[in-house]
Structure 1
Amino acid sequence: MNAMARETQWQNIMQMTEQLRELSTQEDWQKMNEVSTQRQIKLEHFFASSVAESEVELVAEGIQKILHSDQILMQISQKQKQQISSEVQKISSGRQAVKAYGQFKNA
């Protein structure tokens, strides 16, 4: 693969990283999962061949950006998971209250 094709491939990976951040703000978790899987495949393909000396700096900077972005995405996902868990608990409590009221009413 020539240098131009690899650079394009790397730019695509970085664009996907930015897309993941945008999708997280939109809370489009399904699309995030799809893009994340696609990006992982592209990363594996990119690193299947050695990084050329001319690419080292660009790739190193990109890796740092990916790591930072992924860390932020993990935090956002964790907060979302906690919110969903809290909502599920509220629903469960509500159902228990309705059930208890129904039993009380029928007694």
Structure 2
Amino acid sequence: MAITVTVCDDSKLSRKAVMRALPEDWDIELFEATNGAEAVERYHAGQADVMFLDLTMPVMDGFEVLSVLKEENARNFVFVISADIQPESQRMVNELGAVKFLKKPLDTNLLKTVLHEVGLL
């Protein structure tokens, strides 16, 4: 059975870059979200076993998405992908339950390694 994956970023270019970095042989059903509110909707629709989440977005940012998921005791894997690599931001996303903080631009080899480490590959 395919794993549902949602890529959430307000930049179409960034979403496409993340989707290109995903392992080709990974059995997934892929969805996109352009802001945090859409990401939460995808989660509620069962379309986000795994979520790749930007932090800085309109409507609802990544921190807010993580807060909602934490409040709901979400049982999914959230990987934050952001250019905001400040230690405080990294600390906050870890406290809010993100599996890993990955910096933009996304390193394809690092992504594969991380997916292996958490048992998704």
- The TM-score bracket by the shorter chain reads under 0.3
Q: TM-score, normalised by structure 2?
A: 0.24
Structure with the higher fraction of residues in helix conformation: 1
Structure with the higher fraction of residues in strand conformation: 2
Higher RCO (Cα < 8 Å, 6 or more apart): 1
Instruction: Return the index of the structure with the highest Cα Rg.
Output: 1
Q: TM-score, normalised by structure 1?
A: 0.26
